[in-house]
């Protein structure tokens, strides 16, 4: 466990704990406010993220940013964004369980240091590994579950929204629900 994010980042950048280290261009550690109340967790870097070293910078990332900004969130201002695995799985396949196991320590350490009050899982891979292994996004998206004092919610992965735009209004409602909760809390 590292007690500051710079040391943790440094350790992640030189990690060789799984095979993804051999094919990556960059480790995609995470981005955003390091004291954020809300942390978004995706699956793993894609091609653009691998090239630029930042999460969600491709087409799915553009959509995510648009939705976030419309709901009052932004990676420059009030949220942190990370992934289940920090190196790109080749051909955009799902990360293998052993790759997630090898990487999860970094994510847990990020959560310990950032101390978000809310975690939003973007898509099935994050939701199944963080909230519950048989969670169905289509059924339980937007529902808050408390775990160790942190409220967790799953919503649609932005890449899934690009494939199936019909779910965009539901995904946006999930973000509004989160925004309303935060606003309500800040009035107390």
Least distance in angstroms from the C-beta of 3 to ligand URA: 26
In angstroms, how far is CA 135 from the centroid of its own chain? 16
CB of 45 to ligand URA, least distance (A): 5
- Rule CB under 6 A: is residue 56 a binding residue for ligand URA? yes
Whose Cβ is closer to ligand URA: residue 91's or residue 184's? Answer: 91
Distances (CA, A) of 123 to 8, 37, 129, 132, 161: 25, 20, 10, 12, 10
Q: Does 65 bind ligand URA (CB under 6 A)?
A: no
User: How would you write 6-66 as a 3-class SS string?
Assistant: HHHHHHHHCCCCCCHHHHCCCCCCCEECCCCCEEEEECCCCHHHHHHCCCCCCHHHHHHHH
Rule CB under 6 A: is residue 80 a binding residue for ligand URA? no
C-beta neighbour count of 77 within 10 angstroms: 12
Task: Determine, following the binding rule CB under 6 A, whether residue 60 of this chain makes contact with ligand URA.
Answer: yes
- Of 33 and 63, which has the nearer Cβ to ligand URA? 63
Question: Is residue 83 close enough to count as binding ligand URA by CB under 6 A?
Answer: yes
Residues 149-168 close enough to bind ligand URA by CB under 6 A: 159
By CB under 6 A, tell whether 99 contacts ligand URA. no
Q: Can you give the binding site for ligand URA, defined by CB under 6 A? A: 42-46, 49, 55-56, 60-61, 83, 159
């Amino acid at each position: 466990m590292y007690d500051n994010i710079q040391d943790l980042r440094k350790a992640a950048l030189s990690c060789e704990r799984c095979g993804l280290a051999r094919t990556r261009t960059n480790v995609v550690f995470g981005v955003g406010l390091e004291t954020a109340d809300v942390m978004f967790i995706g699956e793993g870097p894609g091609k653009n993220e691998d090239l630029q070293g930042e999460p969600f910078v491709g087409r799915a990332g553009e959509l995510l940013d648009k939705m976030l900004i419309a709901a009052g969130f932004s990676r420059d201002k009030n949220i942190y964004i990370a992934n289940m695995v920090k190196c790109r799985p080749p051909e955009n396949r799902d990360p293998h369980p052993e790759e997630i196991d090898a990487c999860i320590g970094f994510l847990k350490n990020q959560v310990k240091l950032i101390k978000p009050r809310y975690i939003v899982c973007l898509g099935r891979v994050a939701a199944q590994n963080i909230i519950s292994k048989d969670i169905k996004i289509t059924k339980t998206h937007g529902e808050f579950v408390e775990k160790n004092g942190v409220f967790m919610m799953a919503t649609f992965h932005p890449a899934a929204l690009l494939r199936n735009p019909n779910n965009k209004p539901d995904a946006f409602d999930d973000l509004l629900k989160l925004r309303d909760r935060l606003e309500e809390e800040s009035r107390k």
